[in-house]
Every structure is written in C-alpha cells, then in structure tokens.
Amino acid sequence: MLHGFDPLASRFLADLERIHDKVIRAERQISSGLRVETASDDPQAVMEILRVKTRVDMNTQVQTNLGRVQTQVDSAESAMRQAVAIMERARVLGAQNSGTTAVNRQGMAAEAEQLHARLLALVSTSSEGRFVFGSDDLQAPPYVADSTQPNGVRLVAASRVNSNVVVDENQTSFAVSRTASELFDASGSENAFQALTDLRTALANDSGDDVSAAMPKITAALDLINRELAFYGAAQNRVKDAFDAARKNAVALKTDLSRLQEADLPTAILALNSAGLHQQTALSAHSKVPKASLFDYLG
C-alpha cells in the first residue's frame, strides 16, 4: 500500500523552519540592536520591560518638573535676598532719623517710598511665566499699588494660598514656595509693606516719635524675611538633591532596560553563523538522501 506522506520529509521541513526562524531572529537582533521587540521574542521579559519603561517615563517627567521648579526657586531666593537688602536699608534710614533735619527727612521719606515700590516689584518676580510668590492663581501679579490702602498695596490674587507641591523620584511631595501674603503682607508687626509705609509717613511728617514707633515693625518684618530666605535656601538644596537622585536613578533604569531589551551582538552574530551553518548542513545532507520512485515501490 502506498502512502503520500513522508514523515522524514515533514520532520526535515520542520527542522529547517526552526533553523530559518533562528536566522531571522539573529538578523533582526543585529539590525535593530534589540533582543526583545515583540512579546513573542521573550514573553516572560515583556512585563518587566514594560514596568521599567514606565519608570523611565516617570523619571523623565520628574526631572523635567524638578528642572522647572529649580529655576523658580532660584528666582525666588534671589528676590528674597533683594527683599532683605530693602529692609536693611529701611532700618538704616530709621536709624539716621535722630540728629537729622526736616529737609533730610523729606529726602529719606522719598527713599522709603522707593523701597516700598521696589518691594512691590519683587512681588511680581516671575519664572517661565509663573509668579514665584503667587497663590494658586499664578497667572496674575498677586499685589498692585494702591495708595488708598493703609499699607499702600492691594491684593488682587484669587487667594492667599499656594497649594502646589513638588514630587521627587520616590513620589514624596514637599513644598518649595511661599506666597507674597505670607512673606510681605503678614499680619501684625511683621508686615513689610505696612512697616515701609509707616516709615515713609513718619519721615514725611517729620515725626521722630513716629519713626521710632515704626522701627520695631521694620525689624520684625526683616526678621520674617530672613527666616523665609532660609526656607528658600533649604528648598534649593531639597530640589537639587531630588534632581541629582533622579538623574542617578535614570542611569540605573536605562541599564536595567538595556539588560532586558538590548541584544548581545556577539552572541547574536554567533547564533546567526551557527544557524546558517546548520541550515547549509541540513540542506546538503538532505540532498544526498536517496529519492525513491514509483518503480521502486512496484518492485
């Protein structure tokens, strides 16, 4: 009885196909540089690769955010240093009150008014389109000049709160900003705008007693601004540390991804040569196998 199916030929074709798949896989790894391109290349590694890729994307976003925040914090810290200088100058003006003339006090009053204007200008310090001392409404300057107000300014921001926080590589959040209301328009004697306004008014009225009364407010406001300057210094360090940690982790993540996904080129080349040799050997051996004809079966 004759059979049309040759099990040896079927096995040969199956083996040849497996060798061909190895050739294709090795060629693809060499050309792309990747060991895993599709799920079928290494099903067990795919989930780990996706997990690491997600962490790489998150790390990149964290670095972008921290870079932007670093610029904002640096701008705020610089402005706070200028605010300290303004209040220091105001304290000097107040100290010069005794023993001076009424004419000199008028000039000192004009300078105190300029200090107030400079402080108000610092409130509008911006970085990348965001007011660094703004509240949650960061699209407008938080304060404007208003001579009808006791402290010479008017709050125009939607609120006095800035709820924005920064997230580091470990998803830990921390605050890096203060609002102008907290820094320069605090309640009580620490209100810098009010202290400068009181000093200007006292000097303009040639009132030594009123100047003396304004001096504790100048000192209290200066102390507050110095404390907040220290806050921004700490914020700079916190952001820098978080940024450095994220960059360091980025290197580790890219190493992990390379280990999981990228091809070992020497191994891939060796596999390609080996598969090619096996393919040639198999074809050569198969060509030497005797081919039976119909007459061989008929005897």
pLDDT, tens digit (0-9, with 9 covering 90-100), for 158-204: 778 888 889 998 889 999 999 999 999 999 999 999 999 999 999 99
Question: Domains, the chain, ranges and CATH?
Answer: 51-257 (1.20.1330.10)
**Is residue 12 very low, low, confident or very high in pLDDT (cuts 50, 70, 90)?**
low
Say what the pLDDT of residue 259 is: 73
Region 246-271: what's the mean pLDDT? Answer: 71
pLDDT, tens digit (0-9, with 9 covering 90-100), for 22-36: 555 655 655 555 555
Do 94 and 101 touch, CB atoms closer than 8 A?
Answer: no
Long-range contacts of 205-212 (CB under 8 A, 24+ apart): 206/102, 206/105, 206/106, 208/97, 208/98, 211/94, 211/97, 212/94, 212/97
Region 264-292: what's the mean pLDDT? Answer: 55
Above 90 in pLDDT, residue 92? yes
Q: Which amino acid type is present at position 144?
A: V
**Is residue 255 very low, low, confident or very high in pLDDT (cuts 50, 70, 90)?**
confident
Above 70 in pLDDT, residue 281? no
Above 70 in pLDDT, residue 104? yes
Proportion of the chain above pLDDT 90, given as a percent: 52
Q: Please tell me the distance from the alpha carbon of residue 182 to that of residue 268, in angstroms, as a whole number.
A: 63
Average the pLDDT over each of 77-86, 92-101, 104-113 and give the range with the smallest value.
92-101
Above 60 in pLDDT, residue 210? yes
Region 218-232: what's the mean pLDDT? Answer: 97
